[in-house]
Structure 1
Amino acid sequence: MALTLFPLSFIALFAWSTAGSATGNTSDPIRAAIWLWLGGHLVPFKLSLASGFSSGALSYLPIGAAIFPWLALRSGFRRASEFLLNPRGARSFIVIWYTAIATIAAILSQSENIKPNLLLAPIYVAAIALSATINFTSPMFERFKFLGYSFLSLIGLATLLVAISMVLHFQIVKSLAIVIQPGIMGGILFTILQLLYLPNLALAALSYLFGTGFTLGLGTQISPTNIDLNSLPAIPLLGSLPTAEHPLLLISLLIPALMILGNQIAIFHRYQEFAVRQREVFKTILPLFIFLALISLFAGGTLLTQDMDPVGISWWNLLAVFAVIQSATLIIGLYIPKLIKLIKARKSEI
């Protein structure tokens, strides 16, 4: 916890001391550091904005920020396991106490205008803490390697495409950067924040390539076959958004199809019985479905105001694509051949 909270406290204190405020007090940077720390665990916030504006929320948080507490927890778990010589005990100790501390921090850091979600805070923090203590090299995860590495490769490809799009739309990116004028220190922090949002944008890019698209506020939709965008927030990273429809990009659906097909062929090559093949396919694909739903849930949400709700992708977007493809490959590769065999067997009996 200290590995992430102390640096955030320094950043918050530095920002507070340089910003200046007639009504601020020394508790403000402490609260801000806790909010940043909770935000790094993807805990959403309820906001009471200035008078004249409706209440808002901040649930569209940078997935990339979660890597810092995750790595800190993983390092702490390894040390605790070596000290206690009991990985299960170390896992229970870290998850329970870390979640308890985060919950207390969320309660104490509430202000009149900014309130962490007290219901989701312990759930999200516990989930991150638990995932950081899992041994992903164990034989139990062996069957998930192909799909896991394939999906990570897709994320890398999507990130590369975002970078290419930024280069192609450099003038738009430049114009958005000029509008902000954050200054030197603000520019550095703003750039870091955008980098932390890259996983969100990569997932949105995947959803875009696969046809389900994503949103950037109320009444918007961005997909290869439809672009309905009211206005563009002054965020340079958003300069990479497409400016025209590209229906030919739907050919990208071949990528998840090949990914699912490759996994199914490997299973069919290893096992011969119908029931075993079916069971193994479900065992390998269900964890991917759960992961897609969870990561997509974090990759979408509200960005401060109701006008910027929803932003990103829906929790079901990527899940629906992979589920449809998996269903099709199972029907074509497993159920139809089985049905044909049954029909032939009945005819031979007659």
Structure 2
Amino acid sequence: MVSLLARLSLPGQRDPGASPSRHAPVLAALATAAVTVLGLLGVGLASVVVQTLDPAGGMPVAGSARLAGRLWLLAQGGGLVLGSGPLVLAPLLLTLAVAWGLSSAGRGVVRACDLPGGRPLVGVVTTAVATHTVLAVLVGLLVTAPDAQVDLLRSAIGSAVLALLAVGWGAARDSGLLDDVLDSAPGPVRPLLRATGAGLLTAVALGLLVVAVALAADTGGYATLSRSLGGSGAGAVGLLALGVLLLPNAAAAAIGVAAGPGFAVGSGTLVSVHGVTLGAVPALPLLAALPDTQAVPLLAFASQVLPALAGLVAGTTLGRRLRDPDGGSVVAGLWGVLAGVLLGLACGLLTWGAGGSLGDGWLADVGAPPVATGLAVALQAGLAGALAAAVTRWRALG
């Protein structure tokens, strides 16, 4: 789509063979707007399809459109003010989809206009961020209602930050700016970042495995919760889709348990290896993964290896990618400690983004504590990463 837009005659373009770099901001605005339009259409169409499963007719098309807009804003850090209090919880799977779309838009504009960097690149990112933010505010104005008011300020800030990170990453990557920065950075920065990314992916994958095992161990509880909500196939499919969108959030909660601090679902429910406190929770089938008793489940103890395994993956990746001038096994071990610290920082940011609020009072705090989780992962992954990096580097050097 971006390449097609680049070939169109833009205002002021007299020479078809001229460089389209001066029209890059216009193309960036169009590409960013296309991400919002296509994303809302996709989420809205999915909502409409789910509603068609309801024999009673389900929610009208206008209601499905409002639901899609609210999910779109929540995924970007927005918030809703309901009768029960503020709702601030980003479905991270949808957040990743939005970020991928914005990053692809930035990369497409850079490729179509052949931007080398500098001011043209800044103009593209600025225009894309401004366009995405304005569209988010407009969507918020359209989907707000007396019973569900959109927090416009929070939605604007969240969408701006997400667009800046995603479009900036995509544009810097395809323009070569990112490679230039990494090449000029001192030390093995590139292997270090790759190792941190590998460790984070490992932590999330293991967290999802913990969630899957917990759900498989209580399929009866999942079915009971689904039936207790009543409704027909539309409700079951809708809850399943919502659970899928929240799977990364659940993985972040599992990382919190594995690291030690645990996670909370409101003030009455806390799950950690130090104890379990069960209280009233929302009737979401995904929460069937919670323990059924006050006893700490065996799965929680088994998950304690998660930070160490993620650190081992990070350290091994680092040791394999170090170059000859980067030093021996001792230096690799020190860089492995830093890789573990960065992994802890990434896990802390993940748990921060995965948490939120489901209302006032007893549901005001949902998720794992970011600072405690990040520190715990950094300590465990740093030790494992140092060992793995040193051994891998020693073996590589023979």
Q: Shorter-chain TM-score: what band?
A: 0.7 to 0.9
Q: Which position in structure 2 is the counterpart of 1:210? A: 259
Q: 1:169-180, aligned counterparts within 5 Å?
A: 169-180=218-229
Give 1:61's aligned amino acid: A
Query: Which residue, out of 108, 123, 129, partners 1:79?
Result: 108
Inter-partner Cα distance in structure 2 for 1:61 and 1:259:
25
Task: Report how far residue 158 of structure 1 moved.
Answer: 1.5
Inter-partner Cα distance in structure 1 for 2:59 and 2:141:
26
Q: Which position in structure 2 is the counterpart of 1:263? A: 315
Q: Which position in structure 2 is the counterpart of 1:3? A: 38
Inter-partner Cα distance in structure 1 for 2:166 and 2:249:
20
Task: Report how far residue 222 of structure 1 moved.
Answer: 0.8
DSSP 3-state at the match of 2:370: coil
Query: Which residue, out of 275, 278, 296, partners 1:245?
Result: 296
Inter-partner Cα distance in structure 2 for 1:46 and 1:132:
27
Inter-partner Cα distance in structure 1 for 2:141 and 2:337:
41
Task: Report how far residue 252 of structure 1 moved.
Answer: 4.3
Inter-partner Cα distance in structure 2 for 1:11 and 1:251:
37
Specify every segment of 5 or more residues in structure 2 that has no aligned partner in the other structure, as ranges. 1-35, 183-189, 388-398
DSSP 3-state at the match of 2:96: helix
Q: Could you tell me whether the CA contact under 8 Å between 2:202 and 2:310 is conserved in 1?
A: no
Inter-partner Cα distance in structure 2 for 1:28 and 1:56:
21
Query: Which residue, out of 183, 195, 198, partners 2:232?
Result: 183
Q: TM-score, normalised by structure 2?
A: 0.68
Inter-partner Cα distance in structure 2 for 1:19 and 1:303:
24
Q: Deviations over 1:153-202 (max 9, x none)?
A: 12112212211221111221121111112312222222111110111111
Q: Which position in structure 2 is the counterpart of 1:61? A: 90
Q: What is the number of residues matched between the two proteins?
A: 322
Q: Could you tell me whether the CA contact under 8 Å between 1:271 and 1:277 is conserved in 2?
A: no
Inter-partner Cα distance in structure 2 for 1:276 and 1:119:
45
Inter-partner Cα distance in structure 2 for 1:309 and 1:184:
31
Q: 1:1-350, aligned counterparts within 5 Å?
A: 1-10=36-45, 18-19=57-58, 31-47=66-82, 49=83, 55-86=84-115, 88=121, 89-107=123-141, 109-133=143-167, 134-135=169-170, 139=179, 140=182, 141-243=190-292, 244-246=295-297, 249-250=300-301, 252-257=303-308, 259-260=310-311, 263=315, 266=319, 270-271=326-327, 284=339, 287-325=342-380
Inter-partner Cα distance in structure 1 for 2:40 and 2:76:
12
Specify every segment of 5 or more residues in structure 1 that has no aligned partner in the other structure, as ranges. 50-54, 333-350
More off after superposition, 38-47 vs 27-36: 27-36
Q: TM-score, normalised by structure 1?
A: 0.77
Give 1:105's aligned amino acid: V
Inter-partner Cα distance in structure 1 for 2:205 and 2:373:
16
Identity level (%): 23
Task: Report how far residue 108 of structure 1 moved.
Answer: 5.1
DSSP 3-state at the match of 1:119: helix
